[in-house]
Amino acid sequence: MLSRLLLATTNRGKIRELVRLFEGSGVELLLPERELDVEEKGGSFFENAYLKAKAYYEAFRMPTLGEDSGLVVPALEGYPGIYSSRFYSLEWGGVEPLEGSRDRANIRKLLRLMEGLQDRKAYFLTCAVVCLDNAGLWAEGRCYGEVLREPRGEGGFGYDPIFQPEGYTKSMAELRPEEKDLLSHRGKAIRRLLELLKMLK
């Protein structure tokens, strides 16, 4: 089995969760010494995850893990979707001033666009791609739920404070990290990826 994977990201929220999810797996995660400027020009989560994994693979020449995640709101034509992390700055839906963190600006914009909307269904999606060389693995995970009317909780990151998973009465940000990992899109994708990784010599 593969013993080391370089994370093709410098996003602290993601790194924290990925480190948790790989704990005890036998796969050691490495962080890049510098951030690469990978243009997320892909038209899908899958493509963006691949572009990141590939770019870090080309630069560091070792097996890499790229992931792309986001929140999909069908009532908003799928937005924020692949634009989740920079939703606030998109023309679509009107640019939201960057006061406070990006996370907060993104959340403000999403709540504004969903004001009065009854259909609040949404899902988080993670697509993870491992690049071994000119080949690799991929996995995706989803977490269904709905968009709350105001933020709740301090845990997690991104849209977690306004997302309530199906069957729960807490927001994603109110869950303990171990609870979030069990049901989250990222948790599901990484566990499946690890199953496949463990079969590789």
Q: Interface residues for its own copies in 13-32 (CB under 8 A)?
A: none
46 contributes a contact to its own copies by CB under 8 A: yes
Q: Which pairing describes strands 28-30 and 4-7: parallel, antiparallel, or unpaired? A: parallel
Our CB check for its own copies shows the closer of 76 and 137 to be: 137
Q: Interface residues for its own copies in 56-95 (CB under 8 A)?
A: none
Q: Which of 10, 35, 44, 58 binds its own copies (CB under 8 A)?
A: 44
User: DSSP character for 24?
Assistant: T
Q: Of the candidates 94, 50, 70, 36, which has an alpha carbon nearest to the alpha carbon of residue 142?
A: 70
Q: H or E element: which one contains 123?
A: strand 121-131
What backbone torsions phi and psi does residue 24 show, to the nearest 5 degrees? 75, 5
What backbone torsions phi and psi does residue 46 show, to the nearest 5 degrees? -60, -50
Q: How far is the CB of 120 from its own copies (least distance, A)?
A: 24
User: DSSP character for 152?
Assistant: -
Q: Of the candidates 67, 85, 55, 83, which has an alpha carbon nearest to the alpha carbon of residue 18?
A: 67
Q: Which of 91, 135, 167, 169 binds its own copies (CB under 8 A)?
A: 135
From 68, 103, 160, 181, the catalytic residue: 68
Q: Which two tokens stand for residue 82?
A: 């692949």
Name 119's Cβ contacts closer than 8 Å, sequence gap at least 6.
Answer: 74, 75
Residue span 172-201 as binding mask against its own copies, x where in contact by CB under 8 A, dash where not:
----------------xx--xx-xx--xxx
- Pick the piece of the chain touching its own copies (CB under 8 A) from 64-72, 128-136, 160-168, 176-184: 128-136
Total interface residues for its own copies by CB under 8 A: 27
- Is 181 assigned a catalytic role? no
144 contributes a contact to its own copies by CB under 8 A: no
Q: Which of 17, 21, 50, 145 binds its own copies (CB under 8 A)?
A: 50
For residues 67, 71, 75, 78, the Cα torsion angle rounded to the nearest 10 degrees is: -20
Name the residues annotated as catalytic: 68
Q: Which residues bind its own copies (CB under 8 A)?
A: 41-44, 46-47, 50, 129, 133-142, 188-189, 192-193, 195-196, 199-201
